[in-house]
Amino acid sequence: MKDMFKIAPAGATLSNEEIATTLERALSDWEAENGAVRNALVIPPDFTRFHSNAGFITQVVYRLLAARGANVDILPALGTHVPVSETQWAVMFGEIPYSKMIVHNWRSDVVKLGEVPADVVERISGGLWKDAVDVEVNRLLMDEKYDLIVSPGQVVPHEVIGMANHAKNIFVGVGGADMINKSHMIGAVCGMEQAMGRDCTPVRQIFDYAFERYVAARPILWVLTVNTAPGGKIASHGLFIGQGRNCLTEAVKLAQVKNIDYVEHGLRKCVVYLDPSEFTSTWLGNKSIYRTRMAMADGGELIVLAPGVRQFGEDKTVDGLIRKYGYRGRLHTLEVFKREDAADLRANMGAAAHLIHGSSDGRFSITYCVKNIAKAEVEGVGFKAADYDEMAARYNPAKLKYGYNTVDGEEIYFIPNPALGLWINREKFKA
């Protein structure tokens, strides 16, 4: 079927009605070309990507296909995250029964399709990584009973791949340990600043290679969005539906306009608020660091208001690794990674990459303001710590406006949700 791109006019956004109509037309075109859908698998993001509008899209796809008599299974792209709770499911996926959810286990639910060879990885990474990468996906993705696989998600700046979604939803979202771990390490070694907000990054090239050789023959229909969320309300600027890579290429162009904010000079003080319903760990909450580091001034201060953060990792293993090794900078983590006594860190490369991403490398300070973790524990992983209630009284997220504010005579920059954008100091950015 032909790609379908729908972009809102300047100053406007797409309504859910427009999105639903476009989806209905796309599914009709698919069936006209491929026959009636009997069994469908939908792979939406989890609740941490609520503002992708993939919840609404998944509901529309489910309703349309179920009305045609198709069986529809839902396999959230968890990656290493915890499963979607019943409460989160109701908020994001509404009418779809919770029983339709299939939980992906990245350690055990995968099948190996092949590998990205070592020489290819070495070439793509400029010699910074020389190991082959296994290509593993959830077994259901390769189950021949599914005659349609729908992969909805948001194209938005990402610290590992540059721009999230498309094949990332497959190889990380429902992928296996080797790809998840090594892709994150390759991204970390190659450098976030060289990746974020860009398309053809080293990790994206690895995913493109794996997709073309091992997955392209599967009946995958990409449904990609470009969104913002002013005031916490989803605003859809573009919908890109297709089978190949072109839908991603075009979505990236729009996301680079809508999801990158330039500041005219480095930020001396930046305050980021983490919605407690969305951010419950530093594993998730460190988007506050990833997405602002290119805007922070040397010697600046990043204050993270994190009332819902109650742990470091999303599971006990990763939580333990963060507590053990801490966020102590790229060079320190890479040195530790090589030590004989760091086998546990080498076995969890995704965690090692996360430790690199979650540090400022000493260039600016990071103060986490929490309610549910002891100050000593926060300081123990390498952050400064402050009481949430005290800091929220001073920098009240309900009163601050997005962007520049003045508090007690001091200029601060406020970001109400770091997940939907990327902030860059225009003085230093080279496209």
Cα separation, 93 vs 86, in Å, equals 10
Burial profile 307-323: b = 16 or more Cβ within 10 angstroms, e = fewer:
bbbebbbbeeebbebbe
Q: What share of the chain is helix, strand, coil (3-state, %, to 5)?
A: 40, 25, 35
User: What type of residue is 276?
Assistant: P
Architecture of domain 261-425 in this structure = Alpha-Beta Complex (3.90)
Q: What confidence tier does 421 reach under pLDDT thresholds 50, 70, 90? A: confident
**pLDDT (tens digit per residue) in 215-274:** 999 999 999 999 998 878 899 999 999 999 999 999 999 999 999 999 989 999 999 999
- Residue 431, pLDDT > 60, answer no
- Burial of residue 160 (number of CB atoms within 10 Å: 0-12, 13-18, 19+): buried
DSSP 110: E
Contact in structure between 354 and 360 (CB atoms under 8 Å): no
Helix, strand, or coil (residue 281): strand
How far is residue 243's CA from residue 248's CA, in Å, rounded to a whole number? 10
Q: List, in order, residues 6 or more apart from 300 with CB less than 8 Å away.
A: 266, 267, 268, 269, 270, 364, 365
Return the domain boundaries, the chain: 4-258, 261-425
Least confident range of 244-258, 371-385, 416-430? 416-430
Lowest mean pLDDT among 227-231, 329-333, 355-359, 364-368: 227-231
pLDDT tier at 6, thresholds 50, 70, 90: very high
pLDDT at 182: 94
Say how far apart CA 64 and CA 67 lie, in whole Å. 5
- Each residue's pLDDT tens digit, 57-113: 999 999 999 999 999 999 999 998 889 999 999 999 998 999 999 999 999 999 999
For residue 430, the model assigns a pLDDT of: 60
Q: Rounded to two decimals, what is the model's pTM?
A: 0.83
CATH topology of 4-258 equal to that of 261-425? Answer: no
Higher pLDDT, 325 or 420: 325
End-to-end CA distance of the chain: 34
User: What is each CA distance from 182 to 16, 146, 203, 223, in whole angstroms?
Assistant: 37, 29, 9, 26
Q: Give dist(CA 45, CA 76) in Å, integer.
A: 5
Q: What is the CA radius of gyration of the chain?
A: 21
- 4-258 folds as Rossmann fold (3.40.50)
pLDDT of res. 427: 84
Q: Out of 165-169, 320-324, 352-356, 376-380, pick the least confident.
A: 352-356
75 φ, ψ to 5°? -120, 90
CA distances (Å), 140 to each of 133, 144, 150, in order? 21, 9, 13
**Mean local confidence (pLDDT), 151-171:** 95
Average pLDDT, the chain: 95
Cα separation, 388 vs 395, in Å, equals: 10
- Looking at residue 248, its pLDDT comes to 98
The percentage of residues in the chain with a pLDDT greater than 70, rounded to a whole number, is 99
